[in-house]
């Protein structure tokens, strides 16, 4: 029984590392529709509704449910409660709707590819879209 303790501990440590490390090191890639010109410095204002146009193109930010926590923490420096609170005030004051929440990378990529002005974020850089910034 004692002989099994070390391997079990190592396994637990390994699982812990595997479980925690990817979240801590996860990459967030902001992507945009290829026809849309977006600067990395504008990403925060776009997702907070402060910047709504790129030239004459209406910007359409979309959130990515599974990646949202990482995005908010790394890019906007907010938690989801503060993010939602900011949008509640913005919506009440200006009649804007918060970004639609997509179910994952596949849906975000599909939406961004086919929607002019769309901007979203995913876990790894796909093809067929403009990579605005990696975080």
Partner 1 sequence: MTTRSTKALSALGAALMVAAAPAMAAGPDADARIRELERKLERSMQMIESLQGEVQTLKAAKAGEAPAAAAAAATAVNAEQSAKIENLERQVAQLGSGLSARGTDDGVGLHGFADVGLSRSGENNPVYGRGNKGFNLGSFDLYLTPKFGTNVRSLIELVFEVDRTGAVNTDLERLQVGYAFNDGVTAWLGRFHTPYGYWNTAYHHGAQIQTSVLRPRFLDFEDKGGILPAHTTGAWATGTFHLGVGKLGYDAYLGNASHIDAGGTLDMKMAGDAKYRTMGGVNAWYSPKALSALRLGVHGLRGTVEADAGNASPGLTRLNMYGGYGVFLDDDWEALAEYYRFDNTNLTGGTGSHQSSAWYAQLGRSFGSFTPYGRIERTSLDQADNYFAQQANGRSYNRSVIGLRYEVDPKSALKVELNRTKKKDLGAGVADDGYNEAYIQYSIRF
CB of 125 to partner 1, least distance (A): 15
Rounded Cα gap, residues 49 and 66, in angstroms: 21
CB of 5 to partner 1, least distance (A): 41
Rounded Cα gap, residues 59 and 30, in angstroms: 14
Q: Which two tokens stand for residue 90?
A: 């913005």
Rounded to 10 degrees, the C-alpha dihedral 18/21/23/26 comes to: -110
Interface with partner 1: number of residues (CB under 8 A): 35
129 backbone dihedrals φ, ψ, rounded to 5°: -135, 170
CB of 39 to partner 1, least distance (A): 11
Residue 32 DSSP SS3: strand
The residue among 19 and 94 lying less far from partner 1, judged by its C-beta, is: 94
Rounded Cα gap, residues 97 and 117, in angstroms: 16
Using the rule CB under 8 A, is 127 a contact of partner 1?
Answer: no
Please identify which residue in 17, 88, 125, 134 interacts with partner 1, judged by CB under 8 A.
88
Q: Which stretch binds partner 1 (CB under 8 A): 7-15, 24-32, 101-109?
A: 101-109
Nearest CA-CA partner of 108 in 68, 50, 57: 68
CB of 83 to partner 1, least distance (A): 10
Site for partner 1 in 19-58 (CB under 8 A): 45, 50-53, 56, 58
Residues that bind partner 1 (CB under 8 A): 45, 50-53, 56, 58, 60, 63, 65, 81-82, 84-85, 88-89, 91-104, 106-107, 109-111
């Amino acid at each position: 029984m004692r002989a099994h303790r070390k391997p079990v501990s190592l396994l637990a440590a390994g699982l812990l590392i595997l479980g925690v490390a990817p979240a801590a090191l996860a990459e967030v890639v902001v992507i945009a529709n290829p026809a849309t010109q977006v600067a990395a410095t504008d990403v925060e204002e776009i997702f907070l509704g402060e910047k709504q146009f790129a030239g004459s193109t209406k910007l359409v930010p979309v959130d990515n449910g599974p990646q949202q926590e990482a995005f908010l923490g790394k890019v906007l420096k907010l938690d989801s409660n503060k993010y939602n609170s900011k949008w509640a005030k913005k919506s009440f004051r200006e009649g804007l709707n918060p970004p639609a929440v997509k179910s994952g990378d596949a849906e975000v990529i599909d939406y961004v590819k086919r929607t002019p002005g769309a901007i979203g974020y995913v876990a790894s850089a796909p093809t067929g879209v403009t990579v605005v910034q990696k975080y």
